[in-house]
Amino acid sequence: MFKVYAPGMNEFAIRRVVIVGGGTAGWMAAALLARGLGRACEIRLIESAEIGTVGVGEATIPQIQHINAFLGIDENDLMRFTHGTYKLGVQLNDWGRVGDSYIHAFGDVGLPLGLLPFHHYWLRSRAQGDAHSLWSYSLNAAAAAANRFAKLDKVSDTPLGGIRYAYQFDAARYARYLRERIPEGAVTRIEGKVVEVKLRGEDGFIESLRLESGEIVAGDLFIDCSGFRGLLIEGALKTGYENWQHWLPCDRAIAVASERTTPMRPYTQAFARTAGWQWRIALQHRTGNGHVYCSRFISDDEAAAQLLANLGSEPLEDPRPLRFVTGMRKLSWNRNCLALGLAAGFMEPLESTSIHLVQSGVARFLGMFPDRHCDPLLVDTYNRQTRFEYERVRDFLILHYKATERDDTPFWRQCAAMDVPDALEQRIELFRRTGLIFREADELFTETGWLQVMLGQRIEPERHHPLADELDESRLQGFLSDIRTLVNRTAARLPSHDEFVARVGRLPQASATGLPPMPRHVHERGVS
């Protein structure tokens, strides 16, 4: 995923990279660039201790493990430092109807058979009266329901995949962790505030920055991690911003930490509220909470009261407000400036994509690393690929709002009635008519992710694929029964999440899979 850059003998090679802004985006960019560029470039990061960071993102998706591998991070060390816990998916409550609950679980659901994805066989069986839910075939979902966790690559001696996981952690400590583990001398931190950006007259590229102290910081390439204000990408280069609030209507959030709760759930929770939704994330030392809402339908005071009334444990601080506009910059890379994190765009944290978009932005940039000319064709290619990624993530998030049967508040009635992007409308209708889901190119969310949200929010397909009818009925039921058996027995043998977190880094795992050997009776029947 990440590439190491070798500048060769190019006289126009970039030698000076300047990052503006710290926080998760800035220090992730610094760490990845330092590893990818080696000593080919001088990397400087400008940040001010007086400027706070948003720091509300505490949950991730499994792709963050690519960062660990690339940077050589010891996972146990990371979890200790960031007070982290493990994440098996996102539990969504009250989204389809009040009282509904389902999980968007990471990892596989069932097993494909022949040419067809698993869910077509499940749909066929359900049409015949089978009451087992789709999530009966997900090991992640079964483990989450029981608050259990272990590192498990696969279920031994079976074709069934294992546990796929991400992290929940203190975002501020994660940024500090990355910063402290950058090799000495690879990145120079400069304390200060940027007060002026100087552009070159001939091409409009950024030439240098002037700090409040009077210091001039020149560079060949500039990375904007300055947050919502986009000090370079917008303030200096006037790139423009594409507003997506007509699809993602929430425009404010309130965040507050509360006391630690037990058991620590190995999944993020998202509770739909009257005019938005609330997150709850269990960490080792506290619980992260927040209320994302639309200010046109609820006041700030009402939103804060609703959050505090639904914490589940005593608050540890005063609620912190945040305002935002969902959308993205019209260009993520403009001239010799690359925007990352909130400077590049913002889509609310419903599916924990913010850190991943920084990660993928840096990875894509390293793969296209320019010289000082910043070839326009290269820049256009980067921007086109970035837009594709953002728009597909956007559509996945819109689905959560559009696919609702709630009509109990004006907010949800508006969400249900809104027009959505054509690509999303076509995807929903294709699934509704045929049960088919197709992943486009290398978009972030898989067919299984789309499947769980659509079914979880009551989008029901009219039929299953006709090839699923070719399987003999007894073989179909044996196939389904075997998977359920493997899922249930494996989940039951996992340690509790609290137990696993408590021993992280202290004791070696029992085996390479994180489990003792599988009892023989689990394998009495093979999976067809």
* pLDDT tens-digit map of 289-309: 999 999 999 999 999 999 999
Q: Is residue 118 part of a domain?
A: no
Instruction: Report the domain count for the chain.
Output: 1
| CATH of residue 340 | 3.50.50.60
128-144: average pLDDT: 98
Contact (CB, 8 A) for 382 and 332: yes
| pLDDT tens track for 63-104 | 999 999 999 999 999 999 999 999 999 999 999 999 999 999
Residue 472 lies in a domain: no
- Residues 6 or more apart whose CB falls under 8 angstroms from that of 185 comprise none
- Give the pLDDT of residue 515: 42
Range name among 8-17, 100-109, 175-184, 426-435 with the lowest pLDDT average: 8-17
Question: What does the pLDDT average to over 31-59?
Answer: 85
> Considering the domain boundaries, does residue 503 fall inside one?
no
Q: Are 287 and 62 in contact (CB under 8 A)?
A: no
Rounded Cα distance, 45 and 261, in Å = 37
Helix 118-127 with 473-492: angle, nearest 10 deg: 110
- Between the alpha carbon of residue 105 and those of residues 164, 207, 426, 446, the distances in Å are 9, 46, 24, 11
Instruction: Tell whether pTM > 0.85.
Output: yes
Q: What pLDDT is stored for residue 56 in this prediction?
A: 52
% the chain with pLDDT above 70: 93
Q: Is the pLDDT of residue 55 over 90?
A: no
Asked whether residue 383 carries a pLDDT value surpassing 50, the answer given is yes
- Residue-wise burial string across 57-75, b where 16 or more C-beta atoms lie within 10 A, e elsewhere: bbbbbbbbbebeebbebeb
Question: Is a pLDDT exceeding 70 seen at residue 423?
Answer: yes
Per-residue confidence (pLDDT) for residue 49, from 0 to 100: 86
Count the neighbouring beta carbons within 10 Å of the beta carbon of residue 180: 10
Structure tokens at 290: 């927040």
Sequence letter at residue 192: G
Distance (Å, whole) CA 412 – CA 402 = 9
For residue 477, what are its two tokens? 């039921």
Instruction: Tell me, yes or no, whether 224 lies in a domain.
Output: yes
**Residue 126 in domain:** no
CB-count burial class (<10 Å; 0-12, 13-18, 19+) for 189: middle
Q: CA 353, 179, 335 angle in degrees (round to 5)? A: 65
The residues annotated with a catalytic role in the active site are 87
**Which structural domain range is residue 194 located in?**
16-58+170-245+326-374
Inter-axis angle of helices 376-402 and 447-456, to 10 degrees? 30
Angle separating helix axes 422-434 and 447-456, nearest 10 degrees: 80
**N- to C-terminal Cα separation, the chain:** 34
- Phi first, then psi, for residue 365 (nearest 5°) are -65, -40
For 131-267, list the strands marked E by DSSP: 166-168, 187-191, 194-199, 206-211, 216-218, 221-224, 241-243, 252-258
In the block, which residue shows the tokens 């009219």?
462
The C-alpha atoms of residue 504 and residue 94 are separated, in whole angstroms, by 34
The answer for residues whose C-beta is within 8 angstroms of residue 274's C-beta and 6 or more apart is 297, 298, 306, 408, 409, 411
Which residues lie below 8 Å from residue 323, measured CB to CB, with a gap of 6+? 251, 252
Largest distance between two CA atoms of the chain = 79
Total residue count of the chain as it appears in this document: 528
Cβ count near 102 (within 10 Å): 22
Residue 39's pLDDT band, with cuts at 50, 70 and 90, is confident
Residue 463 and residue 434 in contact, taking contact as beta carbons nearer than 8 Å = yes
Mean pLDDT in residue range 17-30:
97
- How many Å apart are CA 92 and CA 267, to the nearest integer? 10
Q: Is 142 left (phi over 0), alpha (psi -120 to 50) or beta?
A: alpha
Residue 155 covered by a domain: no
Computed on alpha carbons and rounded to an integer, the radius of gyration of the chain in Å comes to 24
What does the angle CA 8 – CA 11 – CA 15 come to, to the nearest 5 degrees? 75
Q: Collapsing DSSP states into helix, strand and coil, what is residue 224?
A: strand
Residues 6+ apart with CB under 8 A from 425: 419
Is the model's pLDDT at 57 over the cut of 80? Answer: no
**Banded model confidence at residue 6, pLDDT cuts 50, 70, 90:** low
**Per-residue pLDDT tens over the stretch 223-280:** 999 999 999 999 999 999 999 999 999 999 999 999 999 999 999 999 999 999 999 9
pLDDT digits (tens, 9 = 90+) for 333-369: 999 999 999 999 999 999 999 999 999 999 999 999 9
Residue 212 · residue 47 · CB < 8 Å: no
How much is the average pLDDT of 405-421? Answer: 98
- Residue 31 host element (H or E): helix 23-37
Helix residue spans in 128-202 (DSSP H): 139-145, 171-180
State residue 506's pLDDT score. Answer: 53
pLDDT of residue 338: 98
| Average pLDDT value for the chain | 93
* pLDDT per residue as tens digits for the range 458-514: 999 999 999 999 999 999 999 999 999 999 999 999 999 999 999 985 534 433 344
> For residues 427 and 398, is the Cβ–Cβ distance under 8 A?
no
Answer positive or negative: Cα dihedral of 98, 57, 352, 394: positive
Instruction: Tell me: pLDDT of 288 over 60.
Output: yes
Q: Give the Cα separation of 197 and 210 in Å (integer).
A: 6
Whether 191 maps to a domain, the answer reads yes
| The pLDDT value given to residue 73 | 96
Residue 265 lies in a domain: no
What the block records as the tokens of 331 is 């260009």
Q: Supply the pLDDT for residue 1.
A: 66
From CA 276, how far away is CA 149, in angstroms rounded? 30
